Amino acid sequence: MSIYLSGLCDYQVFPEEVDVSLQEEEIQHHVESIIFGSSMALETGQISTVFLLLPLRIAGNRCRTLEACTEILRQLSRIEGSFGAATAFNLELTGIWASR
């Protein structure tokens, strides 16, 4: 949730006394945690894959390494088999990364 809220706050103005942003190192730690947690969830199959779409989308928007981006696309591709809307997430992230 921290990475999501930080992303929202990066685009809004808050008073100086309210520190809502995360350092890049913290953001990348969250990205790695989301990737790892989603991978574990996909392996064990203990939750519906639809619950992984939003965290993977958020992580995809904030990831900075080719390895992380590739892993997110791999996981979204696995989800496409059971939930076709993952294709839209895949295409959207690919567009975001191409524009960087």
Q: What is the pLDDT of residue 1?
A: 52
CA gap 36, 71 in Å, rounded: 10
φ, ψ dihedrals at 84, nearest 5°: -60, -20
- Local confidence pLDDT in tens for the 100 residues of the chain: 555 555 545 545 555 555 557 788 998 999 999 999 999 999 998 899 999 999 999 999 999 999 999 999 999 999 998 888 899 999 999 999 999 8
Q: What is the pLDDT of residue 23?
A: 86
pTM of the model: 0.80
CA gap 94, 91 in Å, rounded: 5
Q: What is the pLDDT of residue 24?
A: 87
